[in-house]
Amino acid sequence: MPKEFGRSQRVASQMQKELATIMQRDVRDPRLGLVTVNEVVLSKDLAVAKVYITILNSDDTNKLGGVAILNEMAPYIRHELAKRMRLRHISELHFYYDHSFDNGMRVSALLQDLDTPQQEEDV
């Protein structure tokens, strides 16, 4: 019977908290907007971490550019993460843009359009 909260899930949760703090305080790049860490998915051996982020206050090209910037800064961010977490080996970080926020906003706008009463024209 597998454990409900295995080690990889606990490490991923702690890594998400620490990465959010690092993004807020240590990463100072004017090209990035407000970066939020949505989810961290670790491989079974904890060697690779997929970090899903959302970048607010920017357009689509800046969002993808922001992911590229973070992937370039990954060694620095990994070093800062190593200072904060007590692990023998720190996972290699790969950043991906999480489209769920954008999709949620689009669905919300569509639902709001449905709620507005549409006037029928009498012919």
- The DSSP string of 2-22 is --SS-HHHHHHHHHHHHHHHH
Query: Which residue in the block uniquely carries the two structure tokens 């690092």?
Result: 22
Q: pTM for the full model?
A: 0.79
Residue type, 116: T
Q: Which residue from 45, 38, 34 is spatially nearest to 15, judged by alpha carbons?
A: 38
Return the higher-pLDDT residue of 94 and 57.
94
Tell me the pLDDT tens digit for each residue of 75-108. 999 999 999 998 899 999 999 998 887 777 778 8
Q: Which CATH class is domain 7-114?
A: alpha beta
Domains of the chain by residue range: 7-114
